[in-house]
Amino acid sequence: MPGFAYEPAMFKQVMSGRAVSKDPVGTPDSPVVVVAADPYYAQNVADEVAHRLGIPTGNASTLTDFSAAGPSSIAASAGDLADVALRRRVRRSAHVAWVRSARHGNQREEAESLAVLSTAADAIIEFDPSDDGGVSESVDGVLRSLADKPGALSPLVDEQQMVFGDGRRTDIVVGHGVIDRLKDFVHSGCRKVAIVTQAGIDVTVDCGVEQRVFEVPPGESAKRLDVVGDLASRFAQWGMTRADMVVAVGGGVVTDLGGFAAASYHRGIPVVHVATTLLGQIDAAIGGKCGVNLPEGKNLVGAFWQPRAVLCEIEALDTLPTREFTAGMGELAKYHFLGGGHLDRLTLTPRVARSAAIKADVVTGDEREVGRRAILNYGHTLAHALETAGHYDLRHGEAVGIGLIYAAELAHRLGRINAERVAEHRKVVRGYGLSTEIPDGYDLDLLVDLFARDKKALTGITFVLDGPNGVETVPVDDNTALRETLDAVI
Q: Which residues are catalytic, by number?
A: 267, 289, 331, 359, 369, 373, 377, 380, 384, 396
Instruction: Report how far residue 148's alpha carbon sits from residue 354's, in angstroms, rounded to the nearest whole number.
Output: 19
For residue 330, give every residue at least 6 positions away whose Cβ sits within 8 Å of its Cβ, in sequence order, or none. 279, 379, 383, 395, 396, 397, 398, 399, 400, 401, 404, 429, 432, 434
Please classify residue 199 by burial: count the beta carbons closer than 10 Å to its beta carbon, then call 0-12 exposed, 13-18 middle and 19+ buried: exposed
DSSP state of 245: E
How many CA atoms, within 13 angstroms, populate the side-chain half-sphere of residue 376?
26
Q: Rounded to an integer, what distance in angstroms lies between the CA atom of residue 230 and that of residue 489? A: 40
* 261 closest CA partner among 181, 334, 197, 165: 197
Is residue 28 within 8 A of residue 363, CB to CB? The reply is no
Q: Give the DSSP H/E element, type plus range, for residue 300.
A: strand 297-304
Main-chain dihedrals φ then ψ at residue 22, nearest 5 degrees: -150, 165
CA dihedral 332, 335, 336, 341 (to 10 degrees): -110
Distance, C-alpha 401 to centroid of its chain: 13
Q: Is 263 exposed, middle or buried (0-12, 13-18, 19+ CB in 10 A)?
A: buried
* Residue 291 and residue 257 in contact, taking contact as beta carbons nearer than 8 Å: no
- β-strands 95-101, 271-275 pairing: unpaired
Integer Cα distance of 237 and 35 in angstroms: 52
Nearest-angstrom CA–CA distance, 419 and 436: 16
Beta bridge partners of 95: 32
Residues whose CB falls within 8 Å of the CB of residue 424, separated by 6 or more in sequence, listed in order: none
Strands 245-250 vs 192-197: parallel, antiparallel or unpaired: parallel
- What distance in Å separates the CA atoms of residue 38 and residue 41, rounded to the nearest whole number? 5
**Residue 326 and residue 433 in contact, taking contact as beta carbons nearer than 8 Å:** yes
DSSP code at position 198: -
